[in-house]
Structure 1
């Protein structure tokens, strides 16, 4: 973190612009040229599975038990899903899933 801060300061002092690697990744996702691809189509199979389970109202604990994974792993999947799809919370995720007919 300290190295990245120094790199950013040097870049800005020399008149340049600095973009962190995490921001660059987010920008790359948003600039993807294939606009026909829906956000949920960019998810891995497991992320898509977790998305559908969350949207169907299951808790993290129930999802973890059903998939034989830890609660922490499910929470990580949830975070990645929200980030990849540019959503803020489970309510937005559920709304998206219903709108796109991803849940019964």
Structure 2
């Protein structure tokens, strides 16, 4: 049986996934948690094979959690289950340590298939994104926008777009404030803006494309 941990800050999504996946013959739901901090606390004391998790959390965002898991729990495999555009975050999530990226628009069969594939050693991405990677193409502006960024830069930008301050970002990513400022300057240079407001606005607009 695949020991699955579900993580999402919306109770209705967690409960819905529990109900839908509980009928699977090969999946055992061992827990359900609310945010990134609870993920790390849960895996300290419980055996988990796969984590199905949102990327946006009020406490400890999903990309940061991936870093901790990759270093401290390399046997646990993570699938990002998110409403964020796949083109924007999937590749950076894989780079950060995820084994799959599943959109919240898919059906339960696709979710089950992704969990099984990752458990068996594969990586799950949608057919559309897999073809784009294979042929070196992108279908929209947001993919090109985020392709310019390293995983850490995307992580810092994500925290900036939800209103985090330098001090909060440095604490969450375990880096000093000067390093956060360096990343901000690098982001503005790469994305050709002159201030933080324009940087955040451009990021949000690109996610909507």
The question of whether the paired residues in 2 share the 8 Å contact of 1:47 and 1:81 is answered with yes
Query: Partner of 2:192 in structure 1?
Result: 86
The one of 171, 182, 193 equivalent to 1:65 is: 171
2:207 match: secondary structure: coil
TM-score (norm 1): 0.59
The question of whether the paired residues in 2 share the 8 Å contact of 1:55 and 1:94 is answered with yes
| Structure with more relative contact order (C-alpha pairs < 8 Å, separation 6 or more) | 1
The question of whether the paired residues in 2 share the 8 Å contact of 1:39 and 1:84 is answered with no
Give me the CA root mean square deviation: 2.1
Query: Partner of 2:203 in structure 1?
Result: 97
Moved over 4 A (4+): 34-37
| Consecutive unaligned residues in structure 2, runs of 5 or more | 1-136
Shift of 1:98: 1.4
Please give the residue correspondences for 1:47-62 in structure 2 after superposition, counting only pairs within 5 Å. 47-62=153-168
For this pair of structures, how many residues does the alignment match? 69
The question of whether the paired residues in 1 share the 8 Å contact of 2:145 and 2:206 is answered with no
The question of whether the paired residues in 2 share the 8 Å contact of 1:55 and 1:90 is answered with no
Shift of 1:67: 0.5
Shift of 1:89: 1.1
TM-score (norm 2): 0.31
Are residues 1:39 and 2:145 paired? yes
Query: Partner of 1:76 in structure 2?
Result: 182
CA distances 1:81-101 after superposition (whole Å, capped 9, x unpaired): 100110111111111121122
The answer to which structure has the higher helix fraction is: 1
| Consecutive unaligned residues in structure 1, runs of 5 or more | 1-33
The question of whether the paired residues in 1 share the 8 Å contact of 2:167 and 2:177 is answered with yes
The question of whether the paired residues in 2 share the 8 Å contact of 1:40 and 1:85 is answered with no
